[in-house]
Structures are given as structure tokens and as C-alpha cells.
Structure 1
Amino acid sequence: MSKKQFYKLFIGMVCVSILISCGEKRKTQSKPISQQVSQIEYATGFTIQKNQQFTEIKVTSAWPGSERNFTYALVPRENLAAITLPSDAYDAIVATPVERIVITSTTHIPSLDALGVLESVVGFPNTDLISSLPTRERIDQGLITELGTNENINTEVVLELNPELIMGFGINDTNKAYDVIKRAGIPVVYNGDWVEKTPLGKAEWIKFFAPFFQKEKEADRIFEEIETAYTEAKALAQRAIEKPTVLTGGLYKDVWYISGGKSWMAQFLADANAEYIWSDTEETGGIGLSLEAVLEKAQKADYWLNPSLHTSYAELEKANAHYLQFSAFSNKKVYSNAIKKGATGGLVFYELAPQRPDLVLKDLISILHPGLLEDYEPHFYRPLQ
């Protein structure tokens, strides 16, 4: 063999060796984790990113003005042994599907009920606030334990229940009971459904609950049905010829609290084709006004909604004689969402309405535009007695 032939053979062998080596390196490299971001159309307070081995949920609005994001990793039980996640990268790592959960707000109940996972709930603070019939049955059977109040949860009872998860509700991050629970190794996940400002935004939080129970497809289907029903009701309201004026709220001590122009209630009234008197304000929550300021602007309002917790005209008159000056009072056009209650006094509206905005909108349409919804029985609103 000549030197030239040997040299060619040597170069060829080196090239083959390099190719084999590269191929072996490719084989030993781990596959990149595929990522899929779940579509959230209306809610602004959370995001969901589904990876190959786990799901990452980020809560960006746990309470009004919150400057901190919370990130949670949800890992299917069958993947727990095969995956290692840095604990300092997540506020909680939760095995799914969750089988034992403590919830802290009545707004959590309708989503869990719709997803068919109520049997996972083992504890709740102040169970008298719950109006849901199937949930009350579980309370009566001793399957859901009373835990005190959200601000002062009985941590000893929680630890005895040994839940896999606390679905937390908070106005800030200073809940000492949650700190105790977390130190005991029980994950606390903040839920900010109540912070959302739009009807469909609140309802879309069912998609937040779903990954904890591996019920994503069910949540998508349920929300799509709610969205469709809401959109159809909104379109129906636009057929109304008249656009009635609306006043909201009532006095608490010397302050009248009305809904802000960018609030949840204001959005309902806009979609119901009503003229909300304070629709031009920028507040997303309540606005405190004097009685004189409200009389000046809304004395002739066609309808009056949610007059504090009063349920009758006699109560209103007794609370403040100035209420009689409003046209809605004299014309008996005052409606309340606080009349329909559960067996132990819980208000049905504050529990179910966030998850069923389509029913709220239909209630308002039936009140503000009589005749558009024939033979309709309101779910939440009732005329004052």
C-alpha cells in the first residue's frame, strides 16, 4: 500500500469515527421537554404551561395589587420517581390527581362540582357559608370538616386531615396559618379567581382547577358551554329597544358603596344593554360616595340593584328614610342578589355567580328587558319583598 493510499484510508477512518461519535452523542442527549401553553382567553391572573412530564401554573394576581408571582409544578404521580425539580424554583410541587384538598373560598366549590371532584374536599373554613346542596350533604355526613375562619384556620385540625393541598384565598401574604401549614410540608396554592374583573374572566378559572385533577378536557368543554351561553345572552340583550338606567349598592354607615365603572358588575350591566350611571368611572372595585352625591345623580334611575343586604322595602325604609326619595323605590324596581340563601345562610350569588356568569346575565336581562326571555325563572336576583 502506498503512502498516498494509506493516507486516504486513515482520513476515511477518522471521518467515520467522528460520525459515529457524533451519532452516539446525539443518542445520549436527553430529549428536550416539549411545552404547550394552554389557551386562556379572558382570565388575566394565571397562566398554564404543560410540559412533557409536568404542568407549570403561574398565578400573577393572587390578590389586588399583588406584586409577587406564585409558580406551582403539578406532577402526575406516575412521573414523581422519574423527575427531579428544583424545589427553590417553585412555591409548591403537587402530585396529581389530588385526592385530598382543603379549599378556603365558596367560589372554589362550583368549579370542583362541575369537574366532578367534590369528593376530594376534606376541609373548609366556616362551612355555614356554603350553599351548594351536594357540598352540604358531604358536610352533614362528616366528610368535610369545619376549620374555623380563613384568617385563623385551625392548623391542628388541618394537620390531622393530612390534605395533599390547601387551595388558599388571601387579601395579602401575611396569613400565619398558611405559614404553619407550609412548614408542615403541605403545599399551599393561592387562587385569585376573585380578583378577576370580567364575568368570563372569573368563569375561566375552572381551567386553573382542572390540572390539579387531570381534568383539562372537561374544563375546556364546560367553559366553552358557559362562554357560548353568555355570548348568546349578550346578543339577545342588544335587541332591546330601551336602555334603562341603573343604580347599584347602598349605605354602610354613612357611605354609599356603588360599583366602579370597570368592575365586574358594570361589565354585566353593559352586556345586559343597560345604562349604568357610573359607567364612566375607572375604578374596578367599589366607590364610596355620600348619600347626597348618589341622590343628585341617581334619584331618577329606573332600577336599583343590590341595596346592601336588605331584602324588603320595609327594611330599606327603616334603615334610612331618604331611600324613599329614589324613583326605583317608589316604583318597586329594586332587586337583590342577597335574598336567595343556602340552608345555613350562605349567599348563593357569591358562591355560584362567578362560575356561571351566563345565568347572572340572563337574570339581569329578564329584569331590565321584560319579555326578551319568556317564562324565565331567575337564579340569583329577586325583587325586594
Structure 2
Amino acid sequence: MSKSINIGPRIILNAIFLLLVLILITPVFAEGNYNYRFGDVNEDGKIDITDVVYLFKHRNISLEDGDLNCDDKIDITDVVYLFKNYNELKKPIKYAQHMNLTYYDKNGNVVNPYEGDSWAYKIFVDATGQRFLLKNESEPIPEWAKGKYDIVINVPLKNVVVMSSTEIALMMPLNDSESVISSIKGIMWGGGYKWYFEEINRSLENGSIIDVGSTYNPNWDKIVNISPQVIFVYPGYDGDAIIEKCKELGITYVADAEYLEPTCLGRCEWVKMFAAFYNKEDVAKRYFTRVEKRSFDVKRKTYNCDPNVLVAWGENYPKWGGTYVPEAQSYVATEITDFCHASYIFSDYPGTGSATIDYETFAERAKNADVWIVPSSTTWLSTFKEDHPGYETFKAVKNGRLFCESDDYWQLGLMNTDEVLMDLGTIIHPEAFKGRTTHFFLKYNPDTNTAKPYTAE
């Protein structure tokens, strides 16, 4: 009887000790495994309750894989986070609020290729409401799909025209076998941009891609001669006129809406739309997993940094009616506040787009900001001093923390969302990124209208 009384407390103490050991295991500070999605900690290709159990038992994994709440450590709170969120994390589309893409098996059951499921058909609803049934050429049109689509497209695409460089930026990560970029036969602004994608430059030079004019005045004779399977367009701006002309000529267009997304990961996740048109889901999965996990590294590095660092983002355009600033729920503002753990000067301006304000209002707040980011490259800043009277009195300027964008920001930046965030974190919290040199945000000298990479010290 006495033995039974003594064994009980020992078992309880041993259990408590084991639990404490599990909680206090030090995580491995290493790069994550990009073959498995964020949340798939047991690396079985799916995100479910077994990952919760695995994380409870194993904490000696990389921060990129195991620190799911991004507080720069792996502990029981990550287990709780995964338990509450694994159903959300397993979804094929997690961040892109404006993307409507569904995968089906041959019998019409919804499946998830990003969880390893086999698919036979896809239905994508574009930004104008068109419903596309995407299928391999050898597959028949299924009976169950009747009433679910407007247009049938055989994939992968082999002949397309592209409207924007940001669309190229989301196609480029899928170009592992060069079949994606080789499908582009025409591009708007082909000769009007300086291209930072070598594949595009080379194709324009050898004629495999032709310039089909500007977005406001496309060369429709060239486009008709190409006879594209689809034209990728943006709705709004010049895109609406292109859409109307496509309808008139009977050309299939696909309208994507990456630019409407309120988060940087939502914008980048539109790579999955292009993946659907090229059967590149496996490539998209690894690419986006890498971007996602590395982006969260910025949250970890800045987690314990001063959240009161004040950031201004804006540029005055006197000829265009004022100063343009990101609204509080825009992807730019959330990059500053959510990823870089800092404060934004217009956090009281609600919205997911941009606001136009008078320069005086901007200057009144920006003059006290610790960091000022001008969203242009030096190519467009020749009149910076005239456009921003009193700029030399701003705190950020006096302290050498005035920055602008690189020339390739609007092409390579979207493709490298994680690097953009790393750069942003570097200029806002240099103490957390010592030794790192930026690429997309450059230290700007308004006296000479020059900019150079910034190295955190």
C-alpha cells in the first residue's frame, strides 16, 4: 500500500518535468524547409491536427518552420496558435482576398493541390466575374461543370499577351522550364520600359516577344496577328478600355486584381493564379512558401524593437493635385506596422488604397518622422527639392534617414516580396539587421538626386 502511495507523486513529477523540457527546448536558428508549407511542421504534405501534436512534442526545429506566431521563439503558444489556425493555414489561397480559384477532381469534388491532392479541373473567376474552366487538352468537359463556367481554356497556355510588368513579376518565379516566359508573344510597353528581367530583354531583342504598344494605345493589329489564347489585363485604369476592345474583337482576356490586395503576401499570392494557367502548382507552392516563411523572419527580427519608430511614406506631386500617401489598411502601411513593428504617420486614415492630401498636412506629420520613404526612384525625383518645400528641416532628413526606391522596385520587388520586407525592416530598425545592405530601399541624397544602398550598423 505504501508503495502505491509513493509512486503516484513520482509519476506526476516526472510528467511535469517532461512537459517543462518540451516547453523549454531551444529552437534551431536555421533556414526553414521550403518544400513544406507554413504550418506543415511534421512535413507530411498536409496541415492538420497531427502537426499540432508534432509541434507539442518537437520544438528543436527551425524558427521559420516552428515559430508560427512569429514572436521569435518556439514554445507552447505556437502549439496553441497552430491548433486554432491549422484549418486556415491549409487553405490553397490564404492571403489573396480577391482571388477566386477552385480545384476539382474528375468527379467534381473540391480538392487542394497545395495539400498534395490530385486535380483534374480548375475554375477561376477573374476580376470581372468571368468564369474559366481550366483543363488539360486531353480531358473532356465534365457534365458536373455545366453552369459553373463561361469559357473553357486548355492549359498550360502557350500563346499570351501581357499588359503589365507586375504580371511578368508573378510569372517569372514559375519559369523553371522556361515554358512560362516562352508563352509570352506580346507585351505592352515592351519598348517603353527598361526591363530588369533578362529573359524579357533577350526575348524582345530576338523577336520572340514583340512590343504591342502602350496600355493606353495598344497596337491591335499586332495583337490580332499574334492571335493569343488570352490577354492578361488589369481592370481599371487603361485596362477597362483594353477589356472593351477585347470584347469587340472576340479576344479572350483574363483580368487579375493583384494590385487591389491589402497585404503584401496577398499581392504575391496571385502567383497561384498564373500557376493555375500553366499547371505550375508545385513550383508556386515552393516559391510562395519561401516568400511567406522569409517574410515572417522580418516579424521575428523586429518583434522586440521599439514600436514607436515613426515612419512617413509619401511624395508630393504638385502637378497632379497633392501628396499621395498609403491608407492605414493598405499593404504598404501593414508592411510598416505589422511586419516591421513600427508606427505609421497616417494610421488614422482608414482604407486599403491611397489618399491624396495637401502637402501642408503631409509635412506637418512627416517632419517629426524618424524615417521618410519617398516611393519613387531617382529617375523621377529631379524636382524633389522644389516639390517638398521645407524638407531640409524634417527630422529624418537631418538624421540621414531619407530613403527612396530602387529603379527595379516595381518589377523585381513584387517577385521578391520577402527581400523588400527585409529591406524595409533594415532601414526602420537597423539595430536588428546589423551588417545587412539594402537593395530595394536606398539612402537618398536630395542635393545630388542620387541614392545608394544602405548598410545597417
Q: TM-score, normalised by structure 2?
A: 0.67
Matched residue of 1:351: which SS? helix
- Which residue of structure 2 aligns with residue 297 of structure 1? 365
Matched residue of 1:251: which SS? strand
User: 1:161 Cα deviation (Å)?
Assistant: 1.1
1:42 aligned to which of 92, 95, 110? 95
Which range moved further: 218-227 or 302-311?
Answer: 302-311
Which string of whole-angstrom CA distances, capped at 9 and with x for unpartnered residues, describes residues 81-135 of structure 1? x657989864432111111111111111122211112111111111133322221
1:55-134 alignment runs, 5 A limit:
55-59=122-126, 62=127, 69-80=129-140, 83=142, 90-116=149-175, 117-127=180-190, 128-129=192-193, 130-134=195-199
- Which residue of structure 2 aligns with residue 31 of structure 1? none
Structure 1: which amino acid aligns with 2:182? E
1:186 aligns with 2:256: no
1:136 aligned to which of 191, 197, 201? 201
Distance change in 2, residues 1:219/1:366 (3 Å): same
Distance change in 2, residues 1:169/1:85 (3 Å): farther
Residues in 2 aligned to 1:139 and 1:375: alpha-carbon distance in whole angstroms = 38
Matched residue of 1:262: which SS? coil
Q: Is the 8 A contact 1:115 1:210 kept in 2?
A: yes
Which string of whole-angstrom CA distances, capped at 9 and with x for unpartnered residues, describes residues 338-362 of structure 1? xx33xxxxxx212232333211110
User: 1:150 Cα deviation (Å)?
Assistant: 1.8
User: 1:184 Cα deviation (Å)?
Assistant: 4.4
Distance change in 2, residues 1:104/1:88 (3 Å): farther
Q: Is the 8 A contact 1:334 1:383 kept in 2?
A: yes
Residues in 2 aligned to 1:73 and 1:307: alpha-carbon distance in whole angstroms = 39
Q: Is the 8 A contact 1:38 1:48 kept in 2?
A: no
- Which residue of structure 2 aligns with residue 170 of structure 1? 235
1:298-337 alignment runs, 5 A limit:
298-306=366-374, 308=376, 310=378, 315-337=383-405
Residues in 2 aligned to 1:352 and 1:113: alpha-carbon distance in whole angstroms = 10
Q: Is the 8 A contact 1:100 1:121 kept in 2?
A: yes
Matched residue of 2:438: which SS? coil
1:356 aligns with 2:422: no
State the structure with more CA Rg. 1
Structure 2: which amino acid aligns with 1:268? E
Residues in 1 aligned to 2:391 and 2:296: alpha-carbon distance in whole angstroms = 35
1:159-308 alignment runs, 5 A limit:
159-171=224-236, 175-241=240-306, 243-253=308-318, 255-270=322-337, 271-306=339-374, 308=376
Matched residue of 1:148: which SS? coil
Structure 1: which amino acid aligns with 2:158? E
What's the RMSD between the two structures over aligned residues? Answer: 2.6
Residues in 2 aligned to 1:100 and 1:220: alpha-carbon distance in whole angstroms = 24
Distance change in 2, residues 1:101/1:249 (3 Å): same
Which range moved further: 151-160 or 85-94?
Answer: 85-94
Q: Is the 8 A contact 1:103 1:123 kept in 2?
A: yes
Residues in 2 aligned to 1:229 and 1:307: alpha-carbon distance in whole angstroms = 23
Distance change in 2, residues 1:330/1:194 (3 Å): same
Distance change in 2, residues 1:189/1:84 (3 Å): farther
User: 1:173 Cα deviation (Å)?
Assistant: 9.5
Q: Is the 8 A contact 1:248 1:259 kept in 2?
A: yes
Which range moved further: 173-182 or 243-252?
Answer: 173-182
Distance change in 2, residues 1:252/1:172 (3 Å): closer
User: 1:40 Cα deviation (Å)?
Assistant: 0.7
Residues in 1 aligned to 2:158 and 2:268: alpha-carbon distance in whole angstroms = 23
Which range moved further: 49-58 or 217-226?
Answer: 49-58
Matched residue of 2:431: which SS? coil
Residues in 1 aligned to 2:167 and 2:342: alpha-carbon distance in whole angstroms = 30
Distance change in 2, residues 1:380/1:148 (3 Å): same
Q: Is the 8 A contact 2:161 2:231 kept in 1?
A: yes
Q: Is the 8 A contact 1:75 1:94 kept in 2?
A: yes
Residues in 1 aligned to 2:135 and 2:380: alpha-carbon distance in whole angstroms = 51
- Which residue of structure 1 aligns with residue 211 of structure 2? 146
Which string of whole-angstrom CA distances, capped at 9 and with x for unpartnered residues, describes residues 27-81 of structure 1? xxxxxxxxxx96211111112222224210123xx3xxxxx5232111211115x
Matched residue of 1:233: which SS? helix
User: 1:278 Cα deviation (Å)?
Assistant: 1.0
User: 1:288 Cα deviation (Å)?
Assistant: 1.7
- Which residue of structure 2 aligns with residue 381 of structure 1? 441
What is the count of residue pairs matched by the alignment? 333
Matched residue of 1:55: which SS? strand
Residues in 1 aligned to 2:257 and 2:417: alpha-carbon distance in whole angstroms = 17
User: 1:203 Cα deviation (Å)?
Assistant: 0.9
Q: TM-score, normalised by structure 1?
A: 0.79
1:371 aligned to which of 423, 428, 431? 431
Which string of whole-angstrom CA distances, capped at 9 and with x for unpartnered residues, describes residues 186-209 of structure 1? 321111111111011011111111
Structure 2: which amino acid aligns with 1:259? P
Distance change in 2, residues 1:195/1:300 (3 Å): same
Residues in 1 aligned to 2:241 and 2:440: alpha-carbon distance in whole angstroms = 35
- Which residue of structure 1 aligns with residue 76 of structure 2? none
Which range moved further: 117-126 or 127-136?
Answer: 127-136
Residues in 1 aligned to 2:170 and 2:218: alpha-carbon distance in whole angstroms = 22
- Which residue of structure 1 aligns with residue 28 of structure 2? none
Distance change in 2, residues 1:244/1:177 (3 Å): closer
Which range moved further: 167-176 or 127-136?
Answer: 167-176
